[in-house]
């Protein structure tokens, strides 16, 4: 019981190696890494990771199905930036989306309410 019943188990027995690249020398602690993703909210349960502070960046060494090609704007979520790591250098290859990006292809239309047909009283 306790906290464990709040964390849904990962599907497909997937494993994502997770590192705190903002604080790599920090004291290792145990964390459950969660977030809004498709079938489950848990990336890793009870993992030893260098201490995580607000604003730190976590690196997933393998994304599995959670790569950009599977990304969508489900629930109006922004798609992430993409970074190509090549020859020990990071290269931004796609910018992070904004709210304006989500709205840019929507088309405003004006719908008129249906006109009511005049009723004709029954003739006697």
Measure Cα distances from 19 to 42, 44, 76, 96 in Å.
15, 11, 28, 21
Report the distance separating Cα 89 and Cα 67, nearest Å: 20
Any catalytic annotation for residue 67?
Answer: no
CA distance 113 to 109: 13
User: What's the full length of the chain, in residues?
Assistant: 124
Angle, CA 97 vertex, CA 94 and CA 101 arms, to 5°: 120
Active-site option among 11, 38, 63, 65? 38
The residues that are catalytic are 38
């Amino acid at each position: 019981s306790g906290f464990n019943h709040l964390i849904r188990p990962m599907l497909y027995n997937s494993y994502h190696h997770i590192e705190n690249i903002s604080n790599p020398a920090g004291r290792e602690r145990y964390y459950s890494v969660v977030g809004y993703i498709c079938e489950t909210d848990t990336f890793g349960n009870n993992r030893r990771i260098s201490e995580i502070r607000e604003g730190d960046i976590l690196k997933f060494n393998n994304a599995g199905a959670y790569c950009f090609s599977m990304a969508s704007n489900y629930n109006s979520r922004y798609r992430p930036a993409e970074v190509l790591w090549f020859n020990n250098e990071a290269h931004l290859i796609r910018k992070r989306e904004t709210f304006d990006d989500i709205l840019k292809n929507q088309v405003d239309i004006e719908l008129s309410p249906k006109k009511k047909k005049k009723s004709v009283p029954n003739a006697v």
